[in-house]
Amino acid sequence: MSIIEAIFLGILQGATEFLPVSSSGHLVLVPAFFDITAPDLTLIGLVHLGTLVAVLIYFRRDLWDIVVGVLQGLAQRQPLGTTNARLGWFIVVGCIPAALAGFLLQDFFDSVFSHPNWAAFFLLVTAVLLVVGERMISGKKTFDTMNWLDTIVIGLFQMTALFPGWSRSGSTIVGGLLRGFDRPTAARYSFLLGVPVILGAGLLSLLDIVTAEVMAFSTAVYLSAFLAAAISGYLCIAFLLNWVRSHSLYIFAVYTAVLGGGYLLYSLLA
């Protein structure tokens, strides 16, 4: 793999991890379509760590306030006494559905990932989901009025993103919209809810890196992919949070529909 390919894959992971277009779908379809050298586990692990660095840096103040809020709540025996304390527990509970499904059905999801056509199909599902979410948007709920049912519903939406092509950020944003959140709050909670997920993936990837006996590519290739993922991830978080303040998600629905439908057509004609 060349450094150019590594940078491309890093940008691809960093951008699609946070934009509602599915990083898993892109990592399955793009190498297959463009015949790019398949990344090894080490490279995959490094681009995931790159996106982890991006989200930790961007939300460092939010995450600090949440951690402090949770610890103070426990110390004062009022674990749900403040908005930040509640938000911390909401994030924990919201990750449970995806964690259980991933653990219990790992072999099933692994088999789905081996078929690019499934990724293309679920990109079409993502497109439909984004349109439905936009059509049903009506609320002005914020973190101050968030409740347990909200976080469970959004957590179930996050669980669906275990399918390749089904966008995690897209599904959780739509879940928030359906629960009455305004678009910026839904997007912000989507990113915060993704922190434990990205952290878990990053730690597993780090384990793969530590236990890898052979490095398939050069240090320059790995470093390029990591930096590209971190920088593009940070920029895309900032872009999406700014975009949803005054724009809809329809553009992402069109993009995922074109990508998924285009690949299915390509696979039929190839």
Q: Which residues lie below 8 Å from residue 116, measured CB to CB, with a gap of 6+? A: 28, 29, 32, 263, 267
Indicate whether 61 pLDDT > 90. Answer: yes
pLDDT band, very low/low/confident/very high, at 213 (cuts 50, 70, 90) = low
Indicate whether 69 pLDDT > 90. Answer: yes
Q: How many CB atoms lie within 10 A of CB 8?
A: 19
Is there a contact between 109 and 102 (Cβ–Cβ < 8 Å)?
A: yes
pLDDT computed for residue 134 by the predictor: 82
Reported as a single tens digit per residue, the pLDDT across 11-24 is 988 888 888 888 87
Distance CA 236, CA 14 (A): 8
Indicate whether 52 pLDDT > 90. Answer: no
- Residue in the structure block whose two tokens are 């940008």: 11
Note the pTM of the prediction, 2 decimals. Answer: 0.85
Q: Name the percent of the chain in helix, strand, coil, to the closest 5.
A: 80, 0, 20
Residue 162 or 62, more confident:
62
Distance CA 5, CA 162 (A): 26
Reported as a single tens digit per residue, the pLDDT across 177-198 is 989 898 889 999 999 998 888 7
Domain spans in the chain, listed from the N-terminal domain onward: 3-269
pLDDT computed for residue 214 by the predictor: 61
Reported as a single tens digit per residue, the pLDDT across 81-93 is 899 999 999 999 9
